[in-house]
Chain A
Amino acid sequence: MIRFKARRSALRAGLVLATAGLLSVAAVAEAAAADKILLIINGALGDKSFFDSANHGIELIKAKYADKVETRVLEIGDDATKWEPALLDASEQDWNLIILGTYSISETLAEVARQYPDKKYILFDASVPYADGGYDNVYSISYKQNEGSYLGGVYNAELLKSGKLEGDIGTSLGFLGGMDIPVINDFLVGYIAGAKFVSPDIKIAVSYVGSFSDAAKGKELGLAQYRAGVGIGFTAASQAGLGQLSAAKETGKYVLGVDSDQEAIFAESDPAIASQVVSSVLKNVDVSLLQAYDKYVAGELKFGSEESLGLAEGAVGLVESGNYQQLATPELLAAIKTAKEKIASGEIKVPSAFGMSSDDLNALRNSVKP
């Protein structure tokens, strides 16, 4: 009886051992096969711009590397008090690479990344204070939105000059920002430089909504700009800026979109809005994330540093399909091409709002005041 029991327990132990062995073999195989990538969205998908673009970047990675990657997207909402626990949780799990973005979450990441020196993080559209040391596991991507909107400025000013737009559309350009903050003013500064490159004495009406969600107020400000003689506006105000698209439809004036192809949002549902969107200035988060992962796989990603990506890397640009195709004259295409080449070669240095004093910024705004 006793012997029998002993044999049975030996058998059981053997089984357990065998199972454990199998499991660990499987785990090793999986680890070798799949890189586990987590994208954290500190907001929600469906913004038709920034976060959706990041999500698309993950899809690009998945399409390119197929079985070699395991990806997940985690939406943690826009309540900033919940970001730190969510980030700590994610860091405790076995992700090889954690990707996240926006200036708002960069401080939270700066704290968490120090506690998990073995984890790797990619932060887009913001940076951590590398000068303080201890961020050898964080790679930051910032975007030269000023280069993208420089092209936007060239495009709008050329378009206004070309006489290609129908009707009495006015004599000046517009800019509608979400808030008077550096990242938005970086769009403005590049835009002004681009427009001045084409027409040195161009006038640009500048206003700010004071919100990124108030589409009704965005529309009112858009209408006010159009009334004051603006022919083509440029909106850098997320959802609030879309209000200006509605204003453009009502007045027959034009608008340059931002962040994603805003003509495409309304192409099906409201063609009368889509037809007033001359193009959109893009921040290609998707392209930059795929590039970063390519480098990561090759072991070339420079963790512990910040990289600033612009036109040369394809991280910013203009939508060159849809209305752009119909509106762009040969001279305009030539002007855009020249601007692109000169920026890429460094011949044109696009000014930036980062590090610009508020006095200089005011002087710049006043210099184009209609």
Chain B
Amino acid sequence: MTGLAIITDPATFATVLRVMTPLLIAALGILISDRAGVFNLGMEGMMLTGALAGVLVSAWTGSAWLGLSAAIVAGGLIGALMAFAVNGLGANLIIAGIAVNLAASSGTTLGLFFATGDKGMSGALRSGVMPSLDLPFVRDIPGIGPLVSGHNVLTYGALLAVPLISLMMARTAFGLRIRAVGVDPKAAATVGISVKLIQLQALVLSGMLGGMAGAYLSMGYVSWFAQDMTAGRGFIAIAIEVMGMGTAWGTLAATIVIAIAETLAITMQTFGLPNELMQMIPYVVPIVILTIWTARGRARPAGR
């Protein structure tokens, strides 16, 4: 297969979408928390918890959708817990995020052990998988039909979330309050907005998205939960959100760039290019882009 054939191969496009999905959902979650002034560093832990909750509940109930719901609820609960720790108990936001990540790493292992007696992975459980969607009519369009149709339902969900969150932030009262609290909590409080409530809601929403991103890994990518299976995606999502400059569309663009880089790294390795170099790409790209943008920001006069 030549280089050009790889790029035009529908399978490569599908790879980009698969790689993108968990990163995009998680980055959008971080975006909401970031705009509310409570940057969610605990995303990795929320994803991991969601991944486990989804597998366990779908195995118990036999329904993948109930599993997904459980993953979302579990992520949301951790978001609420983080908000309580930060705003209720006065814990440091960064420490709280790190605590969530550490606790989730060991906690999910413990949870898996209590539920199945295994500590490594849940391969023995018959857990559900989120279905792929064959879009009627669309799939029959020559050329783009096979590209657009047939992906996991969560992939469509992630793509749909971009305009929804963009609208929510820009056009709704809730979005306005989130932005107000994020820019200046004192000013927001003086006009009667409850800063703590908004930040709680933002972190819960953020956690729900995190849980969903985790469920995609354990119920979409593969059909089991394994120890630390998120493998740093929660942190890459943080880099993506920063690259996306705090907007939903920017986050989408940044996710696409990272996903293409990752896909190149995956595909090229099979053709014998040095794996050390290929594995570097997804980490080098955000550094390069952030450096360029920071340099451009400095060149501009103060204020955006």
- A interface residue numbers (CB < 8 A to B): 44-48, 180, 205-208, 210-211, 213-217, 219-221, 223-225, 227-228, 239-240, 242-243, 246, 265-266, 268-270, 273, 365-366, 369-370
Q: Are A210 and B123 in contact, with the CB atoms below 8 A?
A: no
**Beta-carbon contact of A239 and B121 below 8 Å:** yes
Contacts of A365 in B (CB 8 A): 272
7 nearest A-B pairs in the assembled complex, by CB-CB distance: A46-B119, A214-B231, A216-B221, A47-B120, A207-B269, A369-B272, A46-B118
Q: Which residues of A contact B276 (CB under 8 A)?
A: 180
Q: Are A224 and B217 in contact (CB under 8 A)?
A: no
Q: Give B contacts to A, CB under 8 Å.
A: 1, 9, 11, 15, 18-19, 22, 109, 112-113, 117-121, 123-127, 217, 221-224, 226-229, 231, 263, 266-267, 269-272, 275-276, 279
Contact of B15 with A214 in the complex, beta carbons under 8 Å: no
Chain A neighbourhood of B121, CB < 8 A: 46, 48, 239, 242, 265
* Structural contact, B119 and A243, CB atoms closer than 8 A: no
Would A270 and B269 be within 8 Å (CB), given that A46-B119, A215-B222, A242-B226 are in contact? no
CB distance from A12 to the nearest CB of B (A): 49
What are the residues of chain B within 8 A of A246 when measuring CB–CB?
Answer: 221-223
Q: How many residue-residue contacts, CB under 8 A, span A and B?
A: 117
CB contacts (< 8 Å) of B125 on chain A: these are: 269
Chain A residues within an 8 Å CB radius of B15:
220, 223-224
Known A-B contacts A205-B270, A228-B270; A269 and B126 likewise in contact (beta carbons under 8 Å): yes
Give, as a whole number of angstroms, the nearest-CB distance from A74 to chain B: 14
A154 to B144, CA, bound (A): 43
Residue from the list B123, B224, B270, B272 in contact with A221, Cβ < 8 A:
B270
Q: Is the CB of B231 within 8 A of A266?
A: no
B113 interface neighbour in A46, A180, A228, A270, Cβ under 8 Å: A46
The reply to whether B222 and A180 contact each other, CB–CB distance below 8 Å, is: no
Evaluate contact between A180 and B275: CB separation under 8 angstroms: yes
User: Within the assembled complex, what's the spacing in Å between the Cα atoms of A214 and B218?
Assistant: 11
Across the interface, which residues of A come within 8 angstroms of B231, CB to CB?
A: 211, 213-214, 216-217, 240
Closest to A216 in B: B221
Q: Which residues of B contact A228 (CB under 8 A)?
A: 1, 270-271
Complex interface: chain A residues within 8 A of B228 (CB): 213
User: Can you show 29 pairs from A to B with CB atoms below 8 A apart?
Assistant: A44-B120, A46-B118, A46-B120, A207-B270, A208-B269, A211-B231, A213-B226, A213-B227, A213-B229, A213-B231, A214-B231, A215-B217, A215-B224, A215-B229, A216-B22, A216-B217, A216-B222, A216-B229, A220-B263, A221-B266, A223-B15, A227-B1, A228-B271, A239-B229, A242-B224, A242-B226, A246-B223, A270-B123, A369-B271
CB <8 Å contact, B269 and A239 = no
Is there contact, CB below 8 Å, between A224 and B275?
Answer: no
> What A residues does B112 contact at CB under 8 A?
46
Q: Which residues of A contact B263 (CB under 8 A)?
A: 220
Q: Which of B119, B124, B269, B272 contacts A44 (CB 8 A)?
A: B119
Quick one: which of B118, B127, B221 contacts A243, CB cutoff 8 A? Answer: B221
What's the nearest-Cβ distance from chain A to residue B60, in Å?
Answer: 14
| Closest beta carbon of chain A to B108's beta carbon, Å | 12
Q: For B269, what are the chain A residues with a Cβ–Cβ distance below 8 Å?
A: 207-208, 221, 224
Decide if A224 touches B229 in the complex (CB within 8 Å): no
Looking at B19, B123, B127, B266, the one whose CB has the most chain A CB atoms below 10 A away is: B123
User: Is the CB–CB distance between A220 and B226 below 8 Å?
Assistant: no
A195 to B303: give the CA distance in the assembly, Å: 64
List B contacts of A266 (CB < 8 A).
123
List residues of chain B with CB within 8 A of the CB of A242: 121, 123, 222, 224, 226
Q: A48 near B123 (CB under 8 angstroms)? A: yes
Considering the complex, give the chain B residue whose CB is closest to the CB of A207: B269
Residues of B within 8 A of A225 (CB): 270
B226 touches A215 (CB 8 A): yes
* Among A214, A239, A268, contact of B124 (Cβ-Cβ < 8 Å): A268
Cα A214 to Cα B222 in complex, Å, equals 11
Which residues on A sit within 8 Å (CB–CB) of B227? 44, 213, 239
Could you tell me the distance in whole angstroms from the C-beta of B297 to the nearest C-beta in chain A? Answer: 32
**CA separation between A214 and B124, bound complex, in Å?**
19
Min distance, Cβ B293 to any Cβ of chain A, angstroms: 27
Docked pose: A268 CA to B124 CA in angstroms: 7
Task: Decide: A207 near B275, CB < 8 A? Known: A216-B221, A265-B124.
Answer: yes
